[in-house]
């Protein structure tokens, strides 16, 4: 076709399609410089659109029917490629990249490749188009032909592809956040221009195929929506996270630290830092300029203190920083949440002050009470040396009971605090060490195994109190187990080891008694320690605890013994709770007392050590 015969309208069509080719080449080059998944896919879509425009120009200016048909074949190639790339673009844009396996992409390409092969060879068989002829229009050459059934199948396949893409857009629109709804809606509406132009041409409404023009308009709109505003900024991405009614202060910053949005609480907080009379919004300013101390606290994982100026009403906040990423896992900014922990910090400080006062109390009890008791005990001993009197015996008993009471009070005060530092300790070893500090007529069967994370000193104290409780509340005269004391070796409960004593944990149980090996006397109560479930237990075969009293035994001052202080089992519960464990009193398997400890985590069996 001679370009000199092109009319004004034809020239406008030619210039428009040529301009579309240039624009799409530029978009493809710009997208190639962006390291984003959707940009990489859109680059190929823009290239296909640009080449479709080039093929359209070649067809319009084709000097011979063969040239026009060749350009039309290229046009069809890039038109089919564009449809497939459009689907790939929608899949990536809507965050469904996991759908794109090599097998699926290859299957998608089978029909277009077969159609293009038949189209190129159509002059030989006429299976795709019949009655192919060139029709002049406004000085340009256009191709007209009668489609066959194969062409209808191809059109149906292309329609299915594009419909799938539109369905993904609609699905994503209703699931997306606000920014993607706006963006998706714009892209969806602009992409509808492409099938609209094709249908108008196929229906004979327009004398020239408007698809290239629709592709150019769509390309420009998509480029502006996707890349010109960099996904429309991070502010709307976090808009759903900014709940205006939240008590926590929420600040959204961009990659450069600039404040992009705040909720009401954060706006007031940051404004108060510049003076109570300031109403200037912090949005648009650098967070480091607005509140350097906040940036320092957030970066260092420390608490942020905001004072009103006089320091009397300082508020304390715990900052939490979360990276904001879009659907393509690209970092778009940060979300800073400031939780007001003023009351928690003040309660903790009050607790620390109470602990300091408790330390003072322990110091007073330890020194100011023990010293007079020691003096009284000394004078009682001197008086006994001068003469023997039942009154002195009662005085000595009272002093001894006072010493025990003071010791229990000190233990309760020291061990009532939560455990701050723990270590992994062998449960069996702690049991043995505790047993060495217990006096009385009793036998220990140590079946404990594994390790626990605990304060070893306080755990040992807990076992000592349990052992003493069993010894003091059991009768030694009612038990006859002649051989138990010597079967596995023995040592005295007071801590003096018998010769040849050997204890191994993790295989046979360790059994120790309060009598020497040579005495062969009848042992008193038998105490067994073992592991069960998520904890351990201590039980004896003594008289046990009445069911009605099993909850009361842990109360301060409760005792069924005339010589008891009522603090022994209270200390046991206090130490257990300080470790975060639970303890309960139940009936033992032999009818005695059994104390079960649960929630002992992390608990590791012996084979995990």
pLDDT in tens, 300-352: 888 888 776 555 567 888 888 888 776 566 677 888 888 888 888 888 888 77
pLDDT in tens, 424-445: 899 999 999 999 888 878 899 9
How far is the C-alpha of 281 from the C-alpha of 262, rounded, in Å? 9
**Residue 595, helix vs strand vs coil:** strand
pLDDT in tens, 346-387: 888 887 787 777 777 767 666 666 777 788 888 888 888 888
Residue 405 tokens read as 């009471």
Neighbour tally for 119: CB within 10 Å: 20
pLDDT for 600 beyond 90: no
Confidence of residue 586 (pLDDT cuts 50, 70, 90): very high
Taking CA atoms, 380 is separated from 370, 377, 389, 398, 563, in Å, by: 15, 5, 10, 11, 20
Confidence of residue 553 (pLDDT cuts 50, 70, 90): confident
Q: Which pLDDT does position 565 carry in this prediction?
A: 54
pLDDT in tens, 449-488: 889 988 888 898 889 889 988 888 774 334 434 333 333 3
Nearest in space to 301 (alpha carbons), one of 317, 320, 322, 323: 320
How far is the C-alpha of 434 from the C-alpha of 47, rounded, in Å? 81
Q: Which pLDDT does position 521 carry in this prediction?
A: 36
Q: Which pLDDT does position 429 carry in this prediction?
A: 94
Q: Are the C-beta atoms of 441 and 407 separated by less than 8 Å? A: no
| β-strands 451-454, 525-532 pairing | unpaired
Q: Are the C-beta atoms of 142 and 154 separated by less than 8 Å? A: no
How far is the C-alpha of 221 from the C-alpha of 186, rounded, in Å? 8
Q: Of 218 and 441, which is predicted with more confidence?
A: 441
Q: Are the C-beta atoms of 54 and 28 separated by less than 8 Å? A: no
Q: Are the C-beta atoms of 467 and 446 separated by less than 8 Å? A: no
How far is the C-alpha of 223 from the C-alpha of 217, rounded, in Å? 10
Q: Which pLDDT does position 239 carry in this prediction?
A: 45
Per-residue exposure over 341-363, b if at least 16 CB sit within 10 Å of its own CB, e if not:
bbeebeeeeeeeeeeeeeeeebe
How far is the C-alpha of 228 from the C-alpha of 226, rounded, in Å? 6
Confidence of residue 583 (pLDDT cuts 50, 70, 90): very high
Q: Which pLDDT does position 244 carry in this prediction?
A: 53
Instruction: Kindly state the average pLDDT of the residues 599-603.
Output: 72
Nearest in space to 440 (alpha carbons), one of 477, 494, 495: 494
Residue 540 tokens read as 């004896």
Q: What's the mean per-residue pLDDT of the chain?
A: 75
**154-168, 239-253, 568-582: which has the minimum mean pLDDT?**
239-253
**Residue 444, helix vs strand vs coil:** strand
Rg (Cα) of the chain, in Å, rounded? 44
First to last CA, the chain: 89
Q: In what order do the strands lie in the sheet with 451-454?
A: 423-426, 451-454, 603-604
The phi, psi pair for 170, rounded to 5°, reads: -65, -45
Tell me the helices (H) and strands (E) count for the chain, helix number first.
18, 16
Neighbour tally for 273: CB within 10 Å: 18
**Residue 497 DSSP code:** B
Taking CA atoms, 352 is separated from 309, 355, 356, 358, 365, in Å, by: 26, 5, 6, 10, 20
pTM of the model: 0.43
């Amino acid at each position: 076709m001679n370009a000199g015969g092109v009319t004004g309208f034809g020239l406008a069509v030619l210039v428009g399609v040529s301009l579309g080719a240039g624009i799409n080449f530029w978009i493809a080059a710009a997208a190639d410089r962006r390291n984003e998944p959707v940009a990489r896919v859109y680059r190929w879509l823009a290239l296909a659109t640009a080449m479709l425009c080039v093929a359209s120009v070649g067809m319009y200016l084709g000097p011979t029917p063969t040239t026009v048909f060749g350009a039309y074949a290229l046009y069809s190639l890039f038109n089919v490629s564009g449809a497939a790339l459009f689907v790939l673009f929608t899949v990536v844009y809507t965050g469904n990249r996991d759908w794109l396996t090599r097998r699926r992409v290859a299957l998608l390409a089978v029909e277009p490749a077969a159609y293009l092969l038949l189209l190129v060879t159509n002059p030989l068989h006429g299976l795709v188009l019949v009655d192919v002829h060139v029709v002049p229009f406004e000085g340009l050459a256009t191709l007209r032909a009668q489609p066959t059934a194969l062409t209808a199948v191809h059109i149906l396949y292309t329609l299915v592809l594009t419909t799938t893409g539109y369905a993904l857009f609609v699905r994503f629109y209703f699931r997306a956040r606000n920014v993607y709804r706006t963006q998706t809606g714009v892209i969806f509406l602009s992409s509808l221009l492409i099938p609209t132009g094709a249908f108008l041409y196929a229906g004979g409404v327009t004398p020239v195929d408007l698809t290239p023009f629709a592709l150019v308009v769509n390309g420009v709109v998509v480029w502006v929506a996707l890349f010109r505003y960099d996904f429309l900024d991070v502010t709307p991405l976090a808009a759903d996270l900014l709940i205006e009614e939240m008590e926590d202060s929420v600040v959204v910053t961009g990659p450069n630290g600039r404040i992009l949005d705040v909720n009401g609480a954060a706006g007031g907080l940051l404004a108060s830092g510049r003076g109570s009379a300031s109403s200037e919004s912090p949005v648009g300013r650098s967070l480091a300029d607005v509140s350097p101390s906040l940036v320092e606290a957030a970066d260092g994982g420390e608490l942020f203190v905001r004072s009103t100026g006089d320091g009397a009403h300082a508020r304390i906040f715990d900052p939490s920083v979360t990276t904001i990423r879009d659907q393509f896992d690209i970092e778009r900014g940060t979300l800073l949440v400031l939780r007001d922990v003023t009351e928690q910090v003040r309660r903790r400080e009050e607790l620390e002050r109470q602990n300091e006062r408790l330390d003072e109390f322990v110091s007073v009890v330890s020194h100011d009470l023990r010293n007079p008791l020691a003096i009284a005990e000394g004078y009682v001993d001197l008086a006994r040396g001068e003469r023997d009197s039942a009154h002195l015996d009662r005085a000595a008993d009272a002093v001894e009971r006072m010493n025990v009471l003071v010791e229990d009070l000190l233990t309760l005060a020291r061990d009532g605090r939560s455990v701050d530092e723990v270590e992994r300790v062998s449960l069996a070893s702690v049991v043995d060490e505790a047993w060495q500090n217990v006096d009385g007529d009793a036998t220990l069967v140590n079946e404990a195994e594994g390790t626990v994370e605990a304060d070893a000193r306080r755990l040992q104290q807990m076992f000592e109190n349990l052992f003493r409780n069993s010894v003091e509340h059991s009768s030694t005269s009612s038990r006859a187990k002649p051989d138990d004391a010597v079967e596995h070796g023995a040592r005295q409960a007071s801590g003096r080891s018998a010769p040849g004593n050997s204890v191994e944990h993790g295989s046979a149980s360790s059994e120790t008694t309060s009598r020497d090996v040579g005495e062969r006397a009848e042992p008193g109560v038998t105490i067994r320690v073992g592991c069960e479930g998520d904890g351990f237990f201590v039980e004896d075969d003594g008289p046990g605890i009445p069911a009605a009293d099993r909850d009361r035994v842990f109360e301060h001052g409760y005792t069924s013994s005339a010589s008891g202080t009522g603090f022994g089992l209270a200390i046991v519960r206090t130490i257990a709770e300080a470790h975060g464990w639970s303890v309960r009193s139940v009936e033992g398997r032999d009818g005695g007392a059994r104390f079960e400890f649960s929630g002992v985590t992390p608990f590791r069996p012996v084979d995990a050590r």
